[in-house]
Amino acid sequence: MAQLQAVRGTQDLLPDAARRHRMVTETARAISQRYGFGEIVTPIFEFTEVFSRPIGEATDVVSKEMYTFKDRGGDEITLRPENTAGVARAVLSNGLTQSLPLKFFYSGPMFRYERPQAGRYRQFHQIGAELIGPALPQADIEVIAMGAAILDALGIGQACRLELNTLGDTPSRQAYRAALVAYFTAHIDKLSEDSRDRLGRNPLRILDSKDEGDRAIIADAPAFGDYLNDDSKSFFDAVQSGLDALGIGYELNPRLVRGLDYYSHTAFEFVTTSLGAQGTVMGGGRYDGLMETLGGPPIAAVGWAAGIERLAMLLGELPAETRPIAVVPVGDAAELQALRLTQQLRQAGFIVDLGYGGKVAKRMKRADKIQARVALVLGEDELARDAVVLRDLDAGTQAEIPLAEVIQNLEPFR
């Protein structure tokens, strides 16, 4: 039989890695609560159209990367490649459009069939936030500020840079799209195959191309700012003023785009060079057209998503975990009392490890392996005196104490 191993592009989160992931998620959850965001948990699979309609059949995500299958009932199902569409579907399905504004935080696994690399997996994990309802710059400012606060709370804010751009409103976007099509059509013979393919269906995505030949052409492409109307300029000015007022630094990046038509106005990314090449750790923007694309009423919204794997890689050394207390029974007669003592200590809030058998030397070796702070040794002699030996494993000292006073003697070691 071949050796069993995880499927390519997936990983087992062993305790140390899981702890780093948990640090990211729990920190983000706590900060989001301060900003008034409630947690939402959507299914990890949806009907395929939940993703194919808003993301677009012609995009790489839908055509190449989604895990799509038919279930036993014949329904076409897709493992979620991202969660914004799922949250939007939940708002519509649960009749929440009459309860605006809505503020949601989420975390969980996403699935994309793409080439695995450092910090990128086929099953990966994200945290994210969606603010649904307000069509005002203040909403954009708030979600960006919350993202910055999460990065700061994780201790990685200084390693990240906020890049900011505007996609304008629909008329501005349409005017810019026409200008881009005209410009790139004039240089079509020099574009890469991918960019030629994008020209007809998603020309803004050409601006994201990493192809060196494309980059040379993109350098002279029309600037989005030249096609913004007054309303779009005012909206973006207000976003920048709000970030300035909060002391949140940013750099304007006119090439930062979102290719899908339901995106508008603010687009932003927190990027870092601490993972090697520049990489995005958190990205988002305003998506006022998404609800309508899914068949709902026109509802404004803005949000972001961040990869937990990448954020976890940026974390420094985590604070030391609370070291456990080892309970070490000596002899069969002490086993039952050790079990009772272990339960009593756990109910009092202590982290306790009770060995499952073996002689004293073996159990003490386990206490060292788990880096126990204290060992409580309980043998027949101690049982007869209703006592236990408290051994300080760091100091190498020990003392016999009454069983009735164990908890108060352990307080310094919590």
- DSSP states of 353-414: EE--S--HHHHHHHHHHTT-SEEEEE-HHHHHTTEEEEEETTTTEEEEEEGGGHHHHHGGG-
Distance between CA atoms of 58 and 188, rounded to whole angstroms?
Answer: 20
The two tokens of residue 275 are: 């993972």
For the segment 283-306, what is each residue's pLDDT rounded down to a tens digit? 999 999 899 999 999 999 999 999
Give the model confidence (pLDDT) of 311-339 as tens digits.
Answer: 999 998 888 889 999 999 998 889 999 99
Arithmetic mean of pLDDT, 234-251: 98
**How far apart (Å, rounded) are the C-alpha atoms in residues 295 and 89?**
9
Distance in angstroms between the alpha carbons of the first and the last residue of the chain:
47
- For 215, the token pair is 């980059």
pLDDT at 2 over 60: no
pLDDT exceeds cutoff 90 at 158:
yes
Average model confidence (pLDDT) across the chain: 91
Quick: pLDDT tens for 383-405. Answer: 899 999 999 999 999 999 999 99
Helix (H, G, I), strand (E, B) or coil at 206: helix
Mean pLDDT to the nearest integer, 128-132 = 98
* Range scoring the smallest mean pLDDT among 143-152, 222-231, 398-407: 222-231
Q: How many residues does the chain have?
A: 414
* From-to residues of CATH 3.40.50.800 in the chain: 325-413
Over residues 362-378, the mean pLDDT reads 92
Instruction: Specify the CATH number of the domain 325-413.
Output: 3.40.50.800
Structural class in CATH, domain 15-169+229-314: alpha beta
Q: Identify which of 239, 33, 65 has the alpha carbon closest to the alpha carbon of residue 136.
A: 239
pLDDT digits (tens, 9 = 90+) for 74-126: 999 999 999 999 999 999 999 999 999 999 999 999 999 988 776 679 999 99
Which tens digits make up the pLDDT trace of 179-207?
989 999 998 888 898 888 888 777 888 88
Element at 18 (helix H, strand E): helix 15-34
Q: Is the pLDDT of residue 1 over 50?
A: no
Handedness of CA 218, 205, 127, 6 (dihedral sign): negative
Intervals of CATH 3.30.930.10 along the chain: 15-169+229-314
**What confidence score (pLDDT) does residue 52 get?**
87
Alpha carbon distance 259, 373 (integer Å): 55
Predicted structure pTM score: 0.88
Q: Cα–chain-centroid distance for residue 7?
A: 22
